[in-house]
């Protein structure tokens, strides 16, 4: 086994993931990968986020084999529908109407790669979210506070949640894009210490 990695890279441009890792007190660098993600959900939401997270982590790990790399992907799924980022505000409104008054699931996959140490470890966390009943006026109010276009399912939980969300079962941070409780447990179990 190689010596433990000295660098920890986040293979994502997501400010929310970086913020959550900072909140955990981790030392890391942001190194986004430019890969072609599959947002079709044709194999189901869990497989989709797993494959996307592995693709991000493995791509950067090939360039940085001595570093520990974290790739992650999040999606919102209701019934058989995978809700990726909306293409415009009309699409975002359609998604929120679809989720209104209903329960849906947020899946986040985390993939940890360390090529020099032969590590490829991936897991998926799920949280269930129930929305309030939403009418157009409430959605307009939400859009005035939150940009829905860069978020899977057209919503985020860290701002304006009182306008749309009734209840969350599971990790709230998972809904934000990174299940920090499960990540901390996994890093400790694997013997990595990147805490400040």
- The fold of 8-190 is Maf protein (3.90.950)
* 73 labelled catalytic: yes
pLDDT tens digits, 149-192: 989 999 999 999 999 999 999 999 999 999 999 999 999 999 99
Residue 149: per-residue pLDDT: 95
Nearest 5°: the CA angle 92, 17, 186 is 125
38, 73, 91, 193: which is the annotated catalytic residue? 73
In this structure, what token pair is assigned to residue 131? Answer: 């929305």
pLDDT tens digits, 18-61: 999 999 999 999 999 999 999 889 999 999 999 999 999 999 99
Judged on CB neighbours under 10 Å (0-12, 13-18, 19+), 82 is buried
Residue 79: per-residue pLDDT: 87
Global pTM reads 0.94
Domain boundaries, the chain: 8-190
pLDDT tens digits, 81-127: 899 899 999 999 999 999 999 999 999 999 999 999 999 999 999 99
């Amino acid at each position: 086994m190689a010596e433990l990695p000295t660098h920890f890279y986040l293979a994502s441009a997501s400010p929310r993931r970086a913020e959550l890792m900072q909140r955990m007190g981790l030392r890391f660098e942001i190194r986004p990968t430019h890969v072609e993600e599959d947002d079709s959900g044709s194999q189901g939401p869990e497989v989709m986020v797993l494959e996307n997270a592995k693709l991000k982590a493995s791509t950067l790990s090939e360039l940085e084999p001595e570093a520990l790399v974290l790739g992650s992907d999040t999606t919102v799924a209701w019934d058989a529908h995978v809700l990726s980022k909306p293409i415009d505000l009309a699409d975002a409104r359609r998604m929120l109407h679809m989720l209104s008054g209903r329960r849906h699931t947020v899946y986040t996959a985390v993939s940890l790669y360390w090529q020099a140490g032969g590590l490829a470890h991936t897991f998926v966390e799920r949280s269930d979210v129930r929305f309030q009943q939403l009418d157009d006026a409430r959605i307009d109010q939400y859009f005035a506070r939150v940009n829905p276009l860069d978020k899977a399912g057209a919503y985020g939980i860290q701002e304006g949640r009182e306008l749309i969300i009734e209840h969350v079962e599971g990790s709230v941070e998972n809904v934000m894009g990174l299940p920090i409780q499960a990540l901390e447990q996994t890093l400790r179990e694997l013997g990595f210490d990147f805490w400040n």
